[in-house]
Amino acid sequence: MATAREALLDAALDALAHRPWPAVRMADIAAAARVSRQTLYNEFGSKEGLARALVRREADTYLHGVRRLLAVPAPPERNLVAVAEWIVARAAARPVLRALLTGAWDGRLPAPRPARSGARPAAVPAQRRADEGPPAPGELVAATVACADERWAVGCELAVRLALSHVVAPAVPSTEGRRADGQWEEPESWSPITPRMTRVIETILSVETRSPRKTMP
């Protein structure tokens, strides 16, 4: 059974799927989670605290997913390809994660600012951690690489950066992407990795994970 905190975070994430963060109301979140507004404020302190907790949970859930994929018994290059595919798919479905990975935040999303310096520490331990603020994109990439065995760290960083390059600037698939005026449609940053791209990534990683080099060039 979900705790009140998890239920509130789920309700906030669901609300964010339907309206921009500035339009999300604390009262509506409490009602959706079937808890009192006082419980909501006890857990998060404020709407800003709720935003920080929502972003922090997104980062933690992402890293848990990476660890799970890397723990599957399989050749390392296959696991790393699975991580790359999963990052692209996950970023497609979760705008907060996409912003965490790319640093591209907009007005629809919770502001990723840490708590004010000198503010009273939150009563809830999980909130104190959230109030420290979310990891920057580079820190999240480093945390992702740290999930891998040291022998595959270089390959893991390469897999993550290949995935992020696709999230940020995917290839336009065909001439179907042209508008009537002959210009290209702006591609969706969350378009899936194609089987051909997967084979290319797997080939690169198959070589890279067998390389004796320990650092990226």
Distance CA 107, CA 90 (A): 21
The pLDDT, as a whole number, for residue 195 is: 73
Give 1-44's CATH code, choosing from 3.40.50.1970, 1.10.1470.10, 1.10.10.60, 1.10.1380.10.
1.10.10.60
pLDDT digits (tens, 9 = 90+) for 122-180: 889 999 999 999 999 999 999 999 999 988 888 889 889 988 988 887 554 444 444 55
Assess whether pLDDT exceeds 80 at residue 212.
no
Which amino acid belongs to residue 82? A
Which conformational region is residue 99 in: left (phi greater than 0), alpha (psi within -120 to 50 degrees), or beta? alpha
pLDDT digits (tens, 9 = 90+) for 77-88: 889 889 998 999
* 209 touches 85 (CB < 8 A): no
Assess whether pLDDT exceeds 90 at residue 215.
no
The pLDDT, as a whole number, for residue 193 is: 65
Torsion of CA 156, 169, 138, 112, to 10 degrees: -130
Q: Break the chain down into helix, strand, coil percent, rounded to 5.
A: 60, 0, 35
**What's the chain's average pLDDT?**
83
